[in-house]
């Protein structure tokens, strides 16, 4: 069993929809949670960074962490075609060192 | 502000050939990493360097060696390339607030 599980998709939604992306994990020591966005043929870029449980909002993006359920989510509101990318969750136990990545979910926003 | 620079961007090797992938960062980060990314496998850690002068194995180190040349540079060497090493390789650096990735090297071993 992988430490971090993420549905690879693909996920296809119409423009303007609310998108929900999720990851589950098994290591209860994880405290730092991140979401990366990766466009085709590019390197991943950091999108959201949260510590411990709770919500964090940045523009159209909201990251949620539920440590009791070992479950994290990324919500994208008013999705745009430019949001089409692969989204990877990542987490670590200690100060973002040695991140463990999910497999990534491929998302397409259709105009 | 270049961030993390990887060279080369593309490479084709024959089985048994050797090569070194170069990585340099200009953000004064202490930690540097090498990952490979394969379809359906996500990002897998090959080697990392928590600080200048130290290196450690990650999840898939077999067939690779690394050198942390100085604080800026972290190279990955394939001594005898195999078709199983066909992949996209990413270098990353961190100071504890998340990773900054390079744009990757696409390596094909034939």
- Residue of A4, A36, A44, A63 to mutate, testing the B interface (most B Cβ within 10 Å of its Cβ): A44
CA distance A102 to chain B (A): 7
Count Cβ–Cβ pairs < 8 Å, chain A vs chain B: 49
Q: Measure Cα distances from A97 to A53, B81, B94 in Å.
A: 18, 29, 8
Q: Residue A90's pLDDT is what? A: 94
User: Residue A52 has what pLDDT?
Assistant: 85
**pLDDT > 90 in chain B, percent:** 87
* Residue A83 phi, psi dihedral angles, 5° rounding: -80, -5
Helix ranges (H only) for A1-111 are none
Strands B99-101 and B105-109: unpaired
Contact criterion met (CB < 8 Å) for B97 and A43: no
A46 touches chain B (CB under 8 A): yes
- The confidence score (pLDDT) of residue B45 equals 94
Q: What is the pLDDT of residue A95?
A: 64
Give me chain B's average pLDDT, please.
94
Residue A97 confidence (pLDDT): 67
Which bin fits B83, alpha (ψ -120 to 50), beta or left (φ > 0)?
A: alpha
Q: Look at residue B1 in the predicted model and tell me its pLDDT.
A: 63
Nearest residue on chain B to A6, alpha-carbon basis: B42
Condensed to tens digits (0 to 9), the pLDDT of residues B4-31 reads 999 999 999 999 999 999 999 999 999 9
- Give the whole-angstrom CA distance, residue B17 versus residue B79: 7
Q: Where are the alpha helices (DSSP H) in chain B?
A: none
Mean pLDDT by 10 residues, chain A (111 residues): 88 97 95 95 94 91 95 97 97 79 95 94
DSSP letter for A87, please. E
pLDDT score for A69: 94
Residue A103 contacts B, CB cutoff 8 Å: yes
Q: What is the DSSP letter of B14?
A: -
Cα–Cα distance between B49 and A78 in angstroms, integer?
A: 40
**Considering only residues 75 to 104 of chain B, which have any Cβ-Cβ distance to chain A shorter than 8 Å?**
90, 92, 94, 96-104
Contact at CB, B101 and A99, closer than 8 angstroms: no
Q: Which parts of chain B have pLDDT scores under 70?
A: 1
Give the bridge partners for A99, in sequence order.
none
| Residue B31 near residue B51, CB atoms below 8 Å | yes
């Amino acid at each position: 069993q992988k430490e971090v599980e993420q549905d690879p998709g693909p996920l296809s939604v119409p423009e303007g929809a609310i998108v929900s992306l999720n990851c589950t994990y098994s290591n209860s020591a994880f405290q730092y949670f991140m979401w990366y966005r990766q466009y085709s043929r590019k390197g991943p870029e950091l999108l959201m960074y949260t510590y411990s449980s709770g919500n964090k909002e940045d523009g159209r993006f909201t990251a949620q962490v539920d440590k009791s359920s070992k479950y994290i989510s990324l919500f994208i509101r008013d999705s745009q075609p430019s949001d089409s990318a692969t989204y990877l969750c990542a987490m670590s136990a200690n100060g973002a060192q040695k991140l463990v990545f999910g497999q990534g979910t491929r998302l397409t926003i259709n105009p | 502000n270049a961030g993390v620079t990887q060279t080369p961007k593309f490479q084709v090797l024959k089985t048994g050939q050797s090569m070194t992938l170069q990585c340099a960062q200009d953000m004064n980060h202490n930690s540097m990493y090498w990952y490979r990314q394969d379809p359906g496998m996500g990002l897998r850690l090959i080697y990392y360097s928590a600080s200048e002068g130290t290196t450690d194995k990650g999840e898939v180190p077999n067939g690779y060696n690394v050198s942390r040349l100085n604080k800026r540079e972290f190279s990955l060497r394939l001594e005898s390339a195999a078709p199983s090493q066909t992949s996209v390789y990413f270098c990353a650096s961190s100071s504890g607030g998340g990773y900054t990735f390079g744009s990757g090297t696409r390596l094909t071993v034939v």
